[in-house]
Amino acid sequence: MANDHATMEDDEITQEDALAAISAYFEEDGLVHHQLDSFDEFIKNTMQEIVDESADIEIHPEHQHHPDRQPDSDEIPLSFPQTIHKISFDRIYLSKPMVTESNGETIKLFLKIQH
């Protein structure tokens, strides 16, 4: 038992050991590598999962917006069909990032990764 305790003390991680491990991690993967991986996962999978789990959107026009409605009346004429607008989303995609300048010119944006 005394030998086991001595071995545990010898295996204690020092501050220098921790700094060496952290430095090695950042040398190999860079400072934001895990954040880029997380973002890629969000773009490739999570965004579509959110859309798949979301219900359709239904828009029901209010009575006041019917053109055949008589002023000061809440009744909708029978000649005017009840319209419901339904919006549903299927597969999503992202295009390359772009910016439109004030003169109307469209310019592609590029990511520059610092190593």
pLDDT tens per residue across all 115 residues of the chain: 555 554 555 689 899 999 998 888 887 777 788 788 899 999 999 999 999 999 899 987 766 655 656 666 666 555 556 778 899 999 998 888 999 999 999 999 987 777 6
pLDDT score recorded for residue 74? 61
Task: Answer yes or no: are the C-beta atoms of 56 and 87 closer than 8 Å.
Answer: yes
Q: Tell whether 76 is covered by a domain.
A: no
Spatial CA neighbour of 80 closest among 68, 70, 65, 63 = 68
pLDDT score recorded for residue 56? 93
Domain count of the fold of the chain: 1
pLDDT score recorded for residue 70? 62
**53: domain range?**
15-63
Q: Tell whether 91 is covered by a domain.
A: no
